[in-house]
């Protein structure tokens, strides 16, 4: 923190309460107070001596930034509460985990690597396409795929008025009416891969995220969560996305089982 302080929304995000954007919304809604005064604007600087409360609760002490890899199973929603009563990611996490937020999302029918962190500011930073991190996916599709059409995705396409940046896509194998693709992208717009595959005249019937920047799904089993060692986190966040992942030795933990 600089001598002048830092933006209050950033401070709240660093405490792991929520993302910076959500913190700004809470401030506008009058749910944040600073030194006993309710705020209505996020344009405020705070210091280590500031007394901050969110929804009447004192802001927790800022812990060291931590990161976890989670293998999200299909059929789990990436949210804290689901109005439709579907199983959610956060209710399945081990009870000894601190409060965490997801870095990006995977939709209900997608599976694979999802990064979790206790640092809202880090989550926002790693979600930005400007960090240059590739998200790599293994995609099973139903329908004929023209390899030449896949090459066109690298130049970027516009589908239903939405412009998508370049996507690296290769046809790995075909058996009957199904094919496996590997697709890598940087933006990760809403349902981007599914919409691009539909644009090519096929449908996605399985979608697995294999990596997010330098962090890999590897052999992590569905429903398991494993913390990224602090040394590796510092190395990768500082060095960028190009370095290969280091071998992790911590024992994975299993999330809560499905309710029967």
Domains, the chain, ordered by start: 6-58 (3.10.290.10), 67-130+213-242 (3.30.70.580), 134-212 (3.30.70.1560)
What is the per-residue pLDDT for 170?
95
Is 214 or 132 the better-scoring residue by pLDDT? 214
What six digits make up the tokens of 226?
């494993």
Determine whether 96 is an active site residue.
Answer: no
Left, alpha or beta for 150 (phi > 0: left; psi -120 to 50: alpha)? alpha
- Percentage of the chain modeled with pLDDT above 70: 90
What is the per-residue pLDDT for 192?
92
According to DSSP, residue 53 is labeled E
pTM of the model: 0.74
Element (DSSP H or E) covering residue 20: helix 20-28
Mean pLDDT of the chain: 86
Write the CB contacts of 188 (distance below 8 Å, at least 6 apart in sequence). Answer: 104, 127, 129, 135
What six digits make up the tokens of 163?
């412009």
- Percentage of the chain modeled with pLDDT above 90: 54
What is the per-residue pLDDT for 137?
97
Catalytic position from the list 22, 35, 107, 203: 107
What is the per-residue pLDDT for 252?
56
Within 10 A of 8 (CB to CB), how many other CB atoms are there?
24
What is the per-residue pLDDT for 2?
47
Q: Can you say how many angstroms the Cα of residue 202 is from the centroid of all Cα atoms in its chain? A: 26
Average pLDDT over every residue of 178-188? 92
- For the chain, helix, strand, coil in percent to 5 are 20, 30, 50
Q: How far apart are CA 118 and CA 133, in angstroms?
A: 20
Is 26 or 190 the better-scoring residue by pLDDT? 26
């Amino acid at each position: 923190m600089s001598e002048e302080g830092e933006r209050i929304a950033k401070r709240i995000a660093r405490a792991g309460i929520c993302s910076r954007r959500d913190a700004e919304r809470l401030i506008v809604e009058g749910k944040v107070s600073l030194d006993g005064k309710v705020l209505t604007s996020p344009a405020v600087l705070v210091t280590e001596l500031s007394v901050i409360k969110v929804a009447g609760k004192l802001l927790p002490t800022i812990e060291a930034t931590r990161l976890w890899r989670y293998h999200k199973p299909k059929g789990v929603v990436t949210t804290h509460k689901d109005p439709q009563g579907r199983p959610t990611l956060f209710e399945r996490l081990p009870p000894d985990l601190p409060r965490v937020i997801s870095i990006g999302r995977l939709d209900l029918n997608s599976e694979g690597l999802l990064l979790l962190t206790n640092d809202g500011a880090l989550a926002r930073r790693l979600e930005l396409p400007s960090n240059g991190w590739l998200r790599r996916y293994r995609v099973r599709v139903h329908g004929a795929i023209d390899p030449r059409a896949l090459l066109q995705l690298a130049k970027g396409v516009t589908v239903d008025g939405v412009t998508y940046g370049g996507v690296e896509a290769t046809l790995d194998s075909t058996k009957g009416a199904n094919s496996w693709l590997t697709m890598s992208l940087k933006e990760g717009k809403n349902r981007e891969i599914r919409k691009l595959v539909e644009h090519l005249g096929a449908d996605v019937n399985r979608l697995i995220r294999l990596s997010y920047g330098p962090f890999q799904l590897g052999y992590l089993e569905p429903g398991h969560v494993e913390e990224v060692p602090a040394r590796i986190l510092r190395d990768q966040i500082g060095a960028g996305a190009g370095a290969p992942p280091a071998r992790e030795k911590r024992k994975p933990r299993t999330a809560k089982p499905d309710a029967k």
